[in-house]
Structure 1
Amino acid sequence: MSPQDHLALAERFISALEAGDVEAVRGVYAPDAKLWHNNDEIEQTVDQNLRVLAWLIHALPERRYRILRREILADGFMQQHVLEGVLADGQPFAMPACVVVQAKDGRIIRLDEYLDPAAGAPLAAQARRAKTVSAAP
């Protein structure tokens, strides 16, 4: 893949995430892609990752990725960004993160994501509140 191919893949990936288009994200991933996060050190499959993404779309329906830095690598790209949105209670949400992506044949084959779980705490708390409310009689 050329540097332009890696850049186009990064753009397709972020556009699909911002649009909340789970199937478009699936199309960006290779079927056997592995997705890892530093906060739990678990390597996810595509289906596992897309379930988390579906939850994120529901929990943060208005979101955007403010790109701080993107570097093309020989086998993919590195991107530093801030996921921004508004929580259900109206509070602004921002979570800095960095992803290192390996690509082959125009698709992501591995994604390593680095984030501070404390920054995601307000989003997780919102999800717990919603779960408690929906379980109430």
Structure 2
Amino acid sequence: MSEDHILDRFFNSMQGCRTDIVRECLTEDAIVWHSFDRVAMTPDDVVKSWEAIAARYTETSVTDIRRQTTPTGFVQQHLFVVRAGDGPRKAWPVCVVVQIADGRIARLDEYIDLSGGFEPAEGDLVTPGL
């Protein structure tokens, strides 16, 4: 990952709940939409979501990133990994479709199947064959 890439900065801001970076990555009128609840979130909603994630999980990361440029932004596939306290890690495959405006995220559509979560073994977070 390159911290210079807007998507890396955005997702890395979950670690330590860096809501200032979240806001820097999003346009003022950005929309973040989730497939699992069909809710369109504003930047303020995203900050509240990041805070809720930080309160619930002691570890968060995005790994196994595969990203392709599109005419309006990017499509990215990754694993979202969390750990609550000393418990096991959980991971979910995610796909995001991102539109960029003036170097910032204007829209991010997140496709995640929450029922597809799994407990990866330590060191086992890369999709075979990639």
- Band the TM-score falls in, shorter-chain normalisation: 0.7 to 0.9
Q: Given the alignment, which residue of 71, 96, 99 partners 2:96? A: 99
Q: Quote the Cα distance in structure 1 between the aligned partners of 2:84 and 2:116.
A: 13
Contact 2:26 2:105 in 1 (8 A): yes
Which residue number corresponds to residue 61 of structure 1? 58
Which amino acid is 2:44 matched to?
D
Measure the CA separation in 2 of the matches of 1:71 and 1:116: 21
Please list the CA deviations of residues 100-125 of structure 1 after superposition, one character each: whole Å capped at 9, or x if unmatched: 110110110000000012246xxxxx
- Is the aligned partner of 1:31 residue 2:28? yes
Give the CA deviation at 1:56: 0.6
> After superposition, what is the alpha-carbon deviation per residue over 1:13-65, rounded to whole angstroms, capped at 9, x for unaligned?
22223342111011100010011101111111111121111101121121111
State TM-score, norm by structure 1.
Answer: 0.75
Structure 2: segments with no counterpart, 5+ residues: 118-130
Q: Please list, as runs of the form range in 1=range in 2, the aligned pairs for 1:6-85 lying within 5 A after superposition.
A: 8-85=5-82
Answer 1 or 2: which has greater helix percent: 1
Q: Distance in 1 between matches of 2:80 and 2:8?
A: 15
TM-aligned CA distance change 1:40 to 1:85, over 3 Å? closer
Structure 2 CA distance, aligned partners of 1:14 and 1:109?
A: 15
Q: Which runs of 5+ in 1 are unaligned?
A: 1-6, 121-137
After TM superposition, the score normalised by the length of structure 2 is: 0.79
Moved segments of 4+, more than 6 Å: none
Larger Rg: 1
Q: Percent identical across equivalent pairs?
A: 34
Map of 2:83 onto structure 1: 86
Counterpart residue type for residue 21 of structure 2: A
CA contact (8 A) 1:18 1:65 kept: no
Secondary structure at 1:32 match in 2: strand
Across the aligned residues of Structure 1 and Structure 2, the Cα RMSD in angstroms comes to 2.1
